[in-house]
Chains A and B, each alone.
Chain A
Amino acid sequence: NAGVTQTPKFRVLKTGQSMTLLCAQDMNHEYMYWYRQDPGMGLRLIHYSVGEGTTAKGEVPDGYNVSRLKKQNFLLGLESAAPSQTSVYFCASSYTSIPTTQYFGPGTRLLVL
């Protein structure tokens, strides 16, 4: 099992450009999450999904959109990137709702110039 994978690993964008981050899991997990991690601030939840076809807002959803068309994939979109979105993005999944172990992906480092 690959667990949770993220694509790409690193990306540089110019302000105003768009991109999509892909998270994939092969553990048949129902729940998936997108977090961002900024220096000195821990992780903050952007959006999450409780199952295929569902999405919900987390703590910091503005400027992001998500889709969960397939159970194993959770996409995070930036329609018009801003320098404030420079961060490391982590995807996670869990079998059921917390409290249960969340498995994290390796992260995507995004730099917006």
Chain B
Amino acid sequence: GENVEQHPSTLSVQEGDSAVIKCTYSDSASNYFPWYKQELGKRPQLIIDIRSNVGEKKDQRIAVTLNKTAKHFSLHITETQPEDSAVYFCAAYNNNDMRFGAGTRLTVKP
């Protein structure tokens, strides 16, 4: 089955800096890659996603890039704010099978 690895496990940045989280996947048939933000004690919330036929997608300060050949995708957050502090999960999907990465704890220092 699919295996998703996520790095780094923790990330600390200064407010206003950029943050990058990277994920790799193993199944070349995976065709959908969402990113979720989860605040402490809360439910995961979709923040951005990308399909396999697209290389990049942007939504305000958040962007995701996908390299199908290398089987990796990344989340980019620019101009980070303290409210961006949370755990971020990547996932890869194929045929009713959604596999998640282990998560990255992002801390944005004011």
Contact = CB atoms under 8 A, between A and B. Distances in A.
A98 B32 contact: yes
Interface residues of B, number: 25
Q: How extensive is the interface on chain A, given as a class?
A: 20 to 34
A76 to B, nearest CB: 16
Contacts of A90: 43-44
A44 interface: yes
Contact of B96 (A43, A97, A101, A107): A97
A111 interface: no
Contacts of B100: 42-44
B43 A106 contact: yes
A25 B98 CA distance: 20
22 contacts: A40-B102, A40-B103, A42-B4, A42-B91, A42-B100, A42-B101, A43-B44, A43-B91, A43-B100, A45-B99, A59-B1, A90-B43, A97-B96, A98-B96, A98-B98, A99-B51, A99-B93, A101-B46, A101-B49, A102-B34, A106-B42, A107-B43
Interface of A: 33, 40-45, 48, 50, 56, 58-59, 90, 97-99, 101-102, 104-107
